[in-house]
Amino acid sequence: MSIAVRPITTEDYDAVARITADAYLGAGYFDSVEYPYMQKIMRVGERAAAARIIVAERDGVVIGSATLAVFGDEWADIALADELEFRLLVVDPSVQRTGAGRAMVAWILDRARGAEGIRAVSLTTGDDWHSAHALYKNLGFSRVPARDWPIPENGKMLRVYRLEL
């Protein structure tokens, strides 16, 4: 069962919204979809209109997604002028640790290496998302603690990682 990574289509919006909610709620970052940030990230059509979103699919079923941004983009949180940032990388909790996250990051790194002016890829991840930390370290990302920042709604810390290309 191979994993395909591709740009999002309008048909994927509902699946991406569900997976995003399941991943964030399941990780304990929020206890309800009623938080303004949760409402914002679940409006996938609005996000897709302003940012590049990719999806991972297995056997025709969307199982994950990620949002890409560069410095100055509406969806960029931490990107420096020479970085491609990815954020909101989520995998359906029912299939986590089966390669979807790794496949999306590999796709992102491949595209970043061919992008003019991009010398690094950066990301933000939850402080206690230990499996994600292991994946990023395994792929060669390094921690950049000076760039860590708190979630405004709940104060939980977000960790920044960066990979020089």
36: confidence class by pLDDT, cuts 50, 70, 90 = confident
Q: What mean pLDDT comes out for the span 114-121?
A: 96
Q: Which domain holds residue 15?
A: 3-164
Task: Summarize the chain as % helix, strand, coil (round to 5).
Answer: 35, 30, 35
- pLDDT digits over 67-113, tens only? 999 999 999 999 999 999 999 999 999 999 999 999 999 999 999 99
What is the spatial distance between Cα 83 and Cα 66, in angstroms, rounded to a whole number?
A: 16
**pTM to 2 decimal places:** 0.94
- 50: CATH: 3.40.630.30
Mean pLDDT of the chain: 94
Q: How far is the C-alpha of 75 from the C-alpha of 91, rounded, in Å?
A: 19
32 pLDDT more than 80:
yes
pLDDT above 70 as % of the chain? 99
Looking at the structure of the chain, the number of domains it has is 1
Q: In the structure, what pLDDT confidence band is assigned to residue 30 with cuts at 50, 70 and 90?
A: confident
Q: Find the mean pLDDT for residues 33-52.
A: 94
Tell me the longest C-alpha to C-alpha distance in the chain: 41
* pLDDT single digits (tens) 135-150: 999 999 999 999 999 9
DSSP SS3 for 68: strand
